[in-house]
Structure 1
Amino acid sequence: MDFILYDGIEWKNLFPLTLTRPVSEIRLGLFTIKERWEKLMGEKSVDIITQPFLSKKYSKKTKKYYKNILLINSSFIPNEELIQIIFSLKENEVVFFNQKIIVIRKDFFSYEEYEKKIHLKLGNKNDYSKIYNIKKIVHIQYPWDIFINNEYVLKKDFMLLTKGKKSFSLLGKNYVICKEKIFLEEDIKTNNIVLNAQFGPIYIDKKVTIREGSVIIGPVSIGKNVTLNIGSKIYGGTSIGPFCKIGGEIINSVIFSYSNKVHDGFLGNAILGEWCNLGAGTNISNLRNDYRKVTVWNYEKKDFFPVDILFFGIIMGDHSKSAINTQFNTATMIGVNSSIFGFGFPPRFIPSFSLGGIQNREKIPFDHICKTAEIAMDRRNVNFSILDRNILEYLYNSLDI
């Protein structure tokens, strides 16, 4: 059945990660949200509906309207119960979770209808012919929901992806614990490493290189074409996206594609967007000295507010970078395309396009932003497109992000 993934009210709450992408392009577990929905539904989504300034890159809009279509809120992570209900839905039936719409089946849908109704409000329950309620589902409403739920989602994804498939074998001298919970794709290069799946599964995708002395303790997912440097220490709850270069110590974190944490340093309970780079010796505190719950920057209220979380590192938007020996405080929020350097701890909120640290922060000229992105992406044989530039330009001209 045809389906559309749309951005609900959660899109704004997921800044800075969604400043440059729809909610469906968020990564956790073994997949992006879009990839997971498409795998469970057995077909590609016909469209992604997101913010106007993101639409040219991410939306298809090959039609003005659709018949017999499912409209799915991208912020929900599908499970078996939900998928079963979805395939039994009839026209004008809806699935709710905690008074929030997950999916609606429509006999007719137009983009004009979406802009007037679904995107602006949830609708009245009396408008639907039948309502289903889901009691348990992972709902990604804030960035920290990603690392909080990553271990659970990763385990589910591992079962989904590896069921009925046979793992490849490792070459070289390696130490493997609980081999039955380790799945390896082809062309993986390792020697003298430790894979310990005693506490959760380990999935390693194609063409991954893991250098000597590295230790991986599951549950962990390593994306294709990733390189782990000598002596890397990867702990449970961690997902590393494709084409990343990784080193040092990481726990309970999600790193999106094409980002680098190559050198020694600690990263915990954190999210890095795409094209990020942590300089050598960058360390992130994920626990306050007084063991109290953290406060986190709220983009809408432009202030910090308390959240019921003890362990919290950083949330870093796309294309942001830290200089060598940068020390981030607990629960730091960093926008897109920031270049962070200087003595002392940087502020716990760093706006997008910032240059410097606590002693001198200014806005990076836009042509420098584009040039840096172009150079970084060209190093990985990826084109910095006009669409990418237009997204950054829109954000650059927005205030306080």
Structure 2
Amino acid sequence: MRLALFEDQAASGFAPVAWMRPVCELLCGQTSLRERLLKYLPVTDWGAFVRPFLAETYQETHPQAAVNNLDWLAQEPTLLVNARWLPDVTGLQCLEHARLEEAGVLDQTLVWLRLHPDEVPLLSLENWDDALMSIARSRWMTEAPGRLASRPWDLVLHNADQLRIDYQLRRSGTLRSSRLRGARSLGANVAVVGDSSQVEVDPTARLDPFVVLDARQGPITIDAGAVIQPFTRLEGPCHVGTGSQLFRANVREGTTIGRDCRVGGEVEASILHGFVNKYHDGFLGHSYVCPWVNLGALTTNSDLKNDYSNVSVPLEGFSIDTGSTKVGTAGELLPKHVPSFCRIWHGVLDDQIDLGTGIETARAVLERRKQEFTPAQERLLRHVFKLTQAERETALHRSREKRRAVPVT
């Protein structure tokens, strides 16, 4: 099977977490959509159609993939899948048997279709959405199972359900590994509360004495090389990724900890994408944390407003109602919105960050984890700096106006 993931126009709604990566690489559940599809489906060749400024770094990260390559798409029939889709088990099964005359649609948005090479001349990277929907209308359109995410908080909101779905897939004959061990082999000093069949741990993971795994609300999975130190409590559904380390942590349900994270304190219903440092005490709730973020000692965020009304989030200069009463935000000690490439300096929002110095810091941070900061990644970072300039200017103007309105005492 040939597979191509595609971003539609709504991909821009995932800013800022998708500035540096395609939407299909964002985590929800145990993995990203790309990882999920490559694990579940019999894929022999794959590609992706992403926002143009991401193409260079994405091709560098995945040299085996065809990125924004219409010539590749014209070679053989290819299954196209929307990068925003959160599939359930039934939805993934539908993809295995998708036919050329069908198209999967959800909320009047194309989710998947199998494209014939003869239809590729109808496509263009500049008018991708309309061209694809025009092709889909020539098909028998069927309701696609699952959900479509539209904003970063959708990933957080649906993470617990996706963790349960991914555990079903992990337990299936397709994905289940004989190397995984269940709760009975963890040792007498590791306490499992609830259904022990809902716990799976890679044999190379280390769980120290006095760790509690509470699977009463959902499954718990711990991947290879993870280290769980004493007095850590994990509450399912949750997932701990490869090489991550937990230090006396209280991990609440609905949490995904990606690969190579360092986590302490309390984490509730959040997604830590990977390479995140939250070593010390402090609370993190209903948040999506991107790679290479470092949360210092006692960093705490609020995820619930005092009046229990819906949380609004500033995105690209506009206030967006999330429709949810719980979304991770900053507390009143800091502005509600700190745009990309800005900082709080002596209590004031400013943009006096030297980009060159920041790039050198990024290079040093990646080297500490034996990762490379490539020239393509630097070009992407400089491009995103330009893309977010208007957002910074709007936020800085509002901050200055707010300070002027406060009487001097």
TM > 0.5: yes
CA distance in 2, matches of 1:44, 1:366: 41
Shift of 1:82: 2.6
Once the two structures are superposed, residues 171-221 of structure 1 have per-residue CA deviations (whole angstroms, 9 ceiling, x without a partner) of 472212232211000222222111111111100011111111111111110
Alignment pair present for 1:216 and 2:234? yes
Partner residue of 2:12?
12
Correspondent of 1:203 among 196, 212, 221: 221
- AA of the residue aligned to 1:294: V
How far apart are residue 347 of structure 1 and its match?
A: 1.4
Which deviates more, 122-131 or 19-28? 122-131
1:133 Cα deviation after fit: 1.8
Match of 1:349, SS? coil
| Equivalent-residue separation in structure 2 for 1:112 and 1:122 (angstroms) | 8
Q: Within the alignment, does 1:311 sit opposite 2:329 as a pair?
A: no
- Give the alignment's TM-score, normalised by structure 1: 0.87
Query: Matched residues in 2 for 1:17 and 1:293: separation?
Result: 21
CA distance in 2, matches of 1:295, 1:98: 23
2:89–2:169: 8 Å Cα contact kept in structure 1?
A: no
Question: Which residue identity lines up with residue 103 of structure 1 in the other structure?
Answer: W
Match of 1:173 in 2: 189
The answer as to 2:60 corresponding to 1:61 is no
Matches of 2:44 and 2:24 in 1, distance apart?
Answer: 13
Residue 259 of structure 2 aligns with which residue? 242
TM-score (norm 2): 0.85
Question: How far, CA to CA, are the matches of 2:86 and 2:373 in structure 1?
Answer: 30
Distance in 2, Cα, partners of 1:376 & 1:99: 43
Letter in 2 for 1:58: Y
Aligned runs of 1:321-360 on 2, under 5 Å?
Answer: 328-329=330-331, 345-357=333-345, 358-360=347-349
**Greater mean alpha carbon deviation, residues 151-160 or residues 170-179:** 170-179
Question: Is the contact between residue 92 and residue 106 of structure 1 (CA under 8 Å) also seen in structure 2?
Answer: no
List runs of 5+ in structure 1 lacking aligned partners: 315-327, 330-343
CA displacement at 1:112 relative to structure 2: 7.8
**Deviations 1:284-311, CA, capped at 9 Å, x for gaps:** 0011111111111132xx2213232111
Aligned-residue sequence identity (percent) comes to 24
Cα displacement (A) at 1:123: 2.6
Question: Can you list the C-alpha shifts for 1:140-160, whole angstroms capped at 9, x where unaligned?
Answer: 111000111000000110121
CA RMSD of superposed structures (Å): 2.1
- Residues 120 and 375 (structure 1 numbering): CA distance in 2 closer, same or farther, change over 3 Å? farther
Q: Is the 8 A contact 2:53 2:380 kept in 1?
A: yes
Mapped partners of 2:45, 2:359: distance in 1: 31
Residue 386 (structure 1) aligned to one of 340, 356, 375: 375
| 1:162-311 superposed matches below 5 A | 162-163=171-172, 164-166=176-178, 167-168=180-181, 169-171=185-187, 173-177=189-193, 178-189=195-206, 190-229=208-247, 231-299=248-316, 302-311=317-326
User: Which of 147, 151, 160 pairs up with 1:142?
Assistant: 151
Identify which of 363, 366, 370 aligns with 2:355.
366
The gaps in structure 2 that reach 5 residues or longer are 60-64, 392-409
Provide closer, same or farther for how the CA distance between residues 238 and 384 of structure 1 changes in structure 2, counting only shifts above 3 A: same
